[in-house]
Chain A
Amino acid sequence: MSAGGESSRERILGRVARAAASRGRLSHPGALATPAAADPVSGFVKCFTSSGGEVVQADRGRPANEWLTGFLQALEPGVVGVAVGPEVPAGLRPRLPDVAAAHAGAGISVAWGAVSESGSLILPSTGTRAVQLLPPVHVVWVPEGRVFARMEDALRELLHGLPAAVGLHSGPSKSADIGRTVVTGVHGPGRCMVVFI
């Protein structure tokens, strides 16, 4: 760090401290009490789908990876190659060729958890960012018991093993910057699909 930077640091902190001292230090109001849904899973589904996300029912009579393979092939356009996050266990990986995320028809992830009140998926991003962002379709396995009622509950638990980067995905990529018309799949995935496990 340069000497100039160091002096700017001291200068800024000094000015901030003087300003704070001139008006007294105000206390923190504590936690924000937001209501907790009695059934977090159905709350999540409602919120996530109203933001354009999709929730897909797996055929529980078949092995998960077989079901997913068929499901991806039946999409329009059909998925040929996939990018799969390293966190996805063998039983949840589709039987399709692995390709680079930039060329994959779908990215496959497992969520660390989900949040009911905001309809959000919590996706630690180490080693798997491209999988979550580059393919046009993102399929996310969500363990049903990992749906938190409130964002605060989820973030508090996340603190125990916070990775370098976390992404919250709450629907497909969208924009209304052109002509106030909502378009999806602007930069990130145009379809974001959740399958509960």
Chain B
Amino acid sequence: MIRDYAARSREIIRDEPGVREAVTGATIAFDEKRRKGYAEVDADAWRRWAEGVKNHTLTHLDHYLTEAEARLRANGAQVHWAADAAEAREIVIGLATRRAVASVVKGKSMVTEEIDLNPALEEAGIEVIETDLGEYVLQLLEEPPSHILGPALHKSLRQVQDLFAERLNTAPDGDPDTLARAAREVLRNAFIDADMGITGANFLVAETGTVALIENEGNIRLTTSLPRVHVAVVGIEKLLPRMTDLAGFLQLTARAATGQPIGCFVSLIQGPAAEPGDDGPEEVHVVLVDNGRTDVLAHEHAWEALRCVRCGACLNACPVYRQTGGHAYGHVYSGPIGSVLDPGLLGLHDAMPLPFASSLCGACEDACPVRIPIPELLLEWRREAQDEGLTPWKERAALAGLASVATQPGLYRLAGRIGSRLGARGAARALPMLGEWARDRALPKPSPRTFRQLWREGIE
């Protein structure tokens, strides 16, 4: 897989200026809400606690996975294990086929994007309908999500108005309320007709086998309630030890994501409808997915990224992400967390140059509810990329040259004198990297006399 983040980001910025505008506006608004949400509680203490719970869980993950499995089975749910994306798809399609499923409704889920579930279901002749409003918009447009939380936040109102006018016969200047009502009507019928509901999970509680899902629209509650089969596709890192741990995580995740005290709806699902008269699903299946996570877990440093609760706070805080949205990154997990997670999930070679798609400004780490040291992890991946020779040789040569010059003061002073004599253009010719600099900026002007010269002459 070849990723050209630099070229793709340039194209988005140049050819789709509306994306930068929409993403910047939306993420700044989210980030502002997150700050307010944190300020209302002792956020530092909450975040340290959450980091501790996740670290405990990840270092006891074998124990908690086994416990969750046993609990779910006791609750009447069925548990499946998928080593990779292909196996996860096979499991879900097998379930759908066995239960003669014609139509599936889905709640927004990153892991089902990760395993490319929708195209596989469609290929098997099963109709798939995304029910999150943003995901529904993107499904109509045949685009992948651009953001963990607001999948369509890169789209303007105008674009949705045009889309719905064409597809749902709404008025060309319909307001968001009208557009949402039109989607609701279509989707309400889909919920009632669907045979299977597919979701991800925000958390899986080992103690009780609880699949916990957070949302604001109610589509996930409907997806997990109305169809006769519910399938939750769950990454193995989603475990939490106890129900009481959920109390902190439900609230912290919501505050990090949108600044809300909690999502408008939380579903806690232990298993299928237990008694006659219960209007819930007859079957509940939990598909536990590895797909590279055990590689990340084994990595000396990157395992910390598995604490991620997919709140999107780091994307919202990131000035790099804001310029392009998620599509520039080329994988379902974008932004700062994507740049540290993708090299672990896909292999560093396939994820290049994402660890370099950051100015290391540190805003992500300050926002992260589980205190993932994202800048430090980016640096770790950069070190590995350098060690494995995955960076351009010119860059490596230039930095080796800098180190040689900088450890020989005489040579360093000579280079400095030559540099100031060459002036801006001459320096640009001598330093190939300045050519890239000059694509979008005027060249820097060297001081006519270096500080060293000024110092020798005496500073009054």
Contact = CB atoms under 8 A, between A and B. Distances in A.
- Indicate yes or no for A touching B, C-beta below 8 A: yes
Interface of A: 1, 4-5, 8-9, 11-13, 15-20, 22-29, 31-34, 47, 51-52, 86, 102, 117-120, 125-130, 132-133, 150-152, 154-156, 158-159, 162-181, 183, 185-189
Contact of A174 (B52, B59, B175, B216): B216
A129 B192 CA distance: 13
A127 B278 contact: yes
B247 A186 contact: no
B179 A178 contact: yes
A26 B222 contact: no
Contacts of B268: 165-168
Interface of B: 25-26, 29, 41, 45-46, 48-49, 52-53, 55-56, 58-62, 65-66, 75-76, 80-83, 87, 91, 131-134, 137, 150-153, 156-157, 160, 175-177, 179-180, 183-184, 187-188, 191-192, 208, 210, 216-219, 221-222, 224-226, 236, 241, 243-244, 246-248, 250-251, 260-275, 277-280, 288, 290, 294, 297-298, 303
Contacts of B208: 159, 162
A23 B303 contact: yes
A98 B221 CA distance: 23
Nearest to B77: A164
A188 B62 contact: no
Contacts of A164: 75-76, 269-274, 278, 280
Contacts of B251: 34, 117-118, 151
Nearest to B288: A12
Contacts of B224: 165
Nearest to A28: B56
Given A26-B55, A119-B261, A188-B265, A12 B247 contact: no
Contacts of A133: 218, 221-222, 225
A156 B261 CA distance: 19
Contacts of A126: 273-275, 277-278, 280
23 contacts: A16-B294, A18-B298, A19-B294, A19-B298, A27-B56, A29-B52, A34-B247, A51-B261, A117-B251, A119-B261, A120-B266, A129-B226, A132-B221, A133-B222, A152-B247, A158-B243, A162-B210, A165-B224, A170-B260, A170-B263, A178-B137, A183-B176, A187-B219
Contact of B216 (A4, A24, A173): A173
Contacts of A169: 264-265
B170 to A, nearest CB: 11
Given A118-B261, A187-B131, A102 B247 contact: no
